[in-house]
Amino acid sequence: MSTVILLTLTGLGLAALYFLVASGLSLVFGLADVLNFAHGLFLGVGAYATWWASGNLPGAGADGFGFVVAVAFGVLAGAVVAMLVELVLIRPLYSRTIEQVLVTVGLSLAGVALLQATWGADARTFPRPGWTRDVTSILGASVPNAGLLLIVAAVVVLAALLAFLRWTRYAW
């Protein structure tokens, strides 16, 4: 029974990760009618920026509040790149769907290649808080806390998106 619980919660954690990535694409397409396939690039920029900040930014690191500082820096870096791409490349193409797809797919491929050329394609270990490397026992199954964190984050993002769409003037 513990194996079923472990596989179920690990699968939910992976599904939560997919939801977090796909929700941005769905939201942008649903609200702005823009086909932006460069979200992987923005995620990559944010990930590398978080990794860089954890070792180079004062006060950022794996323990406690430093982790939050590093992640906030990464989110800000990814958001800045996304805003620049929207202003410079996507906004002029609002009425041309095919060109949006071509530009954003090309940007995604070129941007990821640029990231790999800059920092290499090898996996980088990220200094994360100790509690995310631990496991929690749930009904006899040792479930990684990182997967549980993904599930909680996905639920929070889903609730925020539903509230945003319900109580603002933006709608599908």
Residues 84-118 pLDDT 10s? 998 999 889 888 888 888 999 999 999 989 999 99
- In a domain? residue 158: yes
- In a domain? residue 161: yes
- In a domain? residue 172: no
Neighbours of 61 (CB within 10 A): 18
- Counted domains in the chain: 1
Closest alpha carbon to 50 in 83, 30, 24, 76: 76
Residues of the chain with pLDDT under 70: 61-64, 170-172
What pLDDT, on the 0 to 100 scale, is given for residue 64?
A: 67
Upper half-sphere CA count for residue 18 (Cβ side, 13 Å): 6
- In a domain? residue 18: yes
Q: How far apart are CA 126 and CA 94, in angstroms?
A: 37
What pLDDT, on the 0 to 100 scale, is given for residue 3?
A: 86
What pLDDT, on the 0 to 100 scale, is given for residue 63?
A: 67
Query: Which domain range does residue 27 map to?
Result: 2-167
- In a domain? residue 72: yes
CA 105 distance to own-chain centroid: 18
